[in-house]
Amino acid sequence: MDRSTGAGADGDRALLRPVRAADVDRVERLLREGGRPGTLDAAFRLAVRTRAGYIAQLLLAHGADPGASGPGELPPLRDAVASGSPALVGALLDDPERRVGLTAVQGLALHGDDRCVEAARRLGPPRPEHPDEEHLLGAAWRHAWRHDGR
């Protein structure tokens, strides 16, 4: 199977149909039965494109990679932030990879979502060896300052 596209046997594509139809029950059932990483990644990209935040959360919980992208596609993480969908960006807040959480914090802040402040607190201070973290976390602090002077 091609990990970048999720293409493979018909069974691999079975997860894409209910994601496209926003059929949460069927997605949950198929995830319980197990899924291949490439299929999970392709399904996650589809959930992001269709703004299906809850399904995106399910796919992340089952191992979808928010940084994986197909040929010629934006990484789904950037696409989720650009969408302005609080549900999609919120789905990324609990990802174990710090870079995903940082990008989600910035996306929430840019779209005026107060969850960015608590998420930034959970992530902690920027690490000195990663200068971009100050910029990403700073979006949350600028948001808080603009809205209530915290």
Query: Are 110 and 103 in contact, with CB atoms under 8 Å apart?
Result: no
Q: How far is CA 46 from its chain centroid?
A: 11
Measured CA distances, 84 to 11, 19, 136 (Å): 32, 20, 16
- Domains of the chain are 1-76 (1.25.40.20), 93-150 (no CATH)
Q: How far is CA 146 from its chain centroid?
A: 26
3-class SS of residue 19: helix
Per-residue pLDDT, 87: 74
Per-residue pLDDT, 9: 44
Q: Match 């910029």 to its residue by tokens.
A: 135
Per-residue pLDDT, 8: 42
* Contacts of 45 by beta carbon, 8 Å cutoff, 6+ apart: 68, 69, 70, 73, 76, 79
As a residue count, the chain comes to 150
CB atoms within 10 A of CB 17: 14
For the chain, 150 residues long, the average pLDDT of each consecutive 10-residue run is 39 83 94 80 89 88 82 70 74 79 87 88 92 91 80
Per-residue pLDDT, 7: 40
Calpha distance 45→103 (Å, rounded):
16
Query: Are 103 and 80 in contact, with CB atoms under 8 Å apart?
Result: no
Per-residue pLDDT, 74: 59
Calpha distance 102→134 (Å, rounded):
10
> Residue 28, CB half-sphere, CA atoms under 13 Å: how many?
4
